[in-house]
Structure 1
Amino acid sequence: MRSIRMTAVRGPGWRISTVALGAVAVLGIVAAPSQASSWTSKLVGAAPSFESRHYADDGGPTNVKFSNCKDDYTNSKVNIVLRKDTVGPDPYYSTHTYTACFAGGTSSGNWDDHGSGTYYWAVNDGLVNVHVWADPVVTNY
């Protein structure tokens, strides 16, 4: 008799609900959203080879945006390069030249996924005596 009562409590809808809940739980584990991160800062007279803060990235693309740029000459451009912090010389990834931020717009550079690791970007690597101001600077990774 006990099994009859349990059968009455566990009707056909119970099985469907159990299977659906199990499927949702498995999908939640398998398709967990990636943990994208970002920070906002500014540059105040950043000298050539200035490095951003170093950040741990689990992988994925990186985007760096500058607004309201100026420099202490009339260059009206700033080069940004993505680098990976490694033992030995840090590898360089592509360099982006920002100009729109000097004309009241926003300049943006995008870098593809280079795997997990610790990254940073550098300003005007290799130039001499060119300081840059930008506010805000937004880094998304």
Structure 2
Amino acid sequence: MKAKARAASVTAMASVMLLALAPQALANWSSVINSGGTGFESRRWSDELYSQIKFTDCTLHYLTASKRETDVAIWRDITVLPDDKYDTKTFTACFSGGGTSNGKWTDLGSGKKSVYFRIQSVGGSSTEGSTFDAAFVGIETTQAD
């Protein structure tokens, strides 16, 4: 019985050490959007002062769309309270044959916080109906370039 308890203890300690030594998740990431519409939210990332969002090669699915664009806002994820919205950028270039739209937010305030982007409108309409695809979505949190 003591051998089983010792083995369980060693296994638990090894698991804790692996978690402690695991690399921290980086704030920079990339993904795609498939059929993203008004209200679509990205995954969260940790940020301080600056975030850059890039969409490349966007395709609009017309249902109620009147324009080849999407409005994107960064939001601060606040537990229990309503989230804070930062300003909105209009992305148009990604809808032009493989082009890239680029939005930069430099007014996020100091201190680490959890943020995400939300699609505010698609095709000129903030009501649900139109969707779009983005072949590449990139998030950068350092203003090195």
Does the alignment pair 1:40 with 2:35? no
Q: Does 2:42 align with 1:52?
A: yes
1:95 and 1:120 map into 2 onto residues whose CA distance is 12
Q: Do structure 1's residue 93 and structure 2's residue 89 form an aligned pair? A: no
Q: Indicate whether 1:76 and 2:68 are aligned.
A: yes
Alignment of 1:3-18 (within 5 A): none
From the two aligned structures, give the one with the greater helix fraction. Answer: 1
Runs of 4+ in 1 over 3 A off after TM superposition: none
TM-score (norm 1): 0.69
Deviation string, structure 1 residues 107-130 (Cα, Å, up to 9, x no partner)? 000001323210000013543212
Mapped to 2, the partners of 1:37 and 1:80 lie a distance apart of 19
| 3-state secondary structure, aligned to 1:101 | helix
Where 1:44 maps in the other structure, the secondary structure is strand
Correspondence for 2:127: 127
- Residue 7 of structure 1 corresponds to which residue in structure 2? none
Count of aligned positions: 106
How far apart, CA to CA, are the structure 1 residues paired with 2:132 and 2:71?
10
- Residue of structure 1 in register with 2:51 after alignment: 62
Structure 2 residues not aligned, in runs of 5+: 1-25
Whichever residue aligns with residue 114 of structure 1, its letter is G
1:44/1:114 CA distance change after superposition, 3 Å: same
Pair member with larger Rg: 1
Distance 2:128 2:109 in 1: 29
CA contact (8 A) 2:45 2:115 kept: yes
TM-score of the superposed pair, with normalisation by structure 2: 0.67
Q: Distance in 2 between matches of 1:120 and 1:96?
A: 14
Is 1:139 the equivalent of 2:139? Answer: yes
Q: 1:111 aligns with which of 88, 105, 116?
A: 105
Tell me the CA shift for residue 48 of structure 1: 1.2
CA deviations 1:65-97 (Å, max 9, x no partner) are 001011111531011000000131111101000
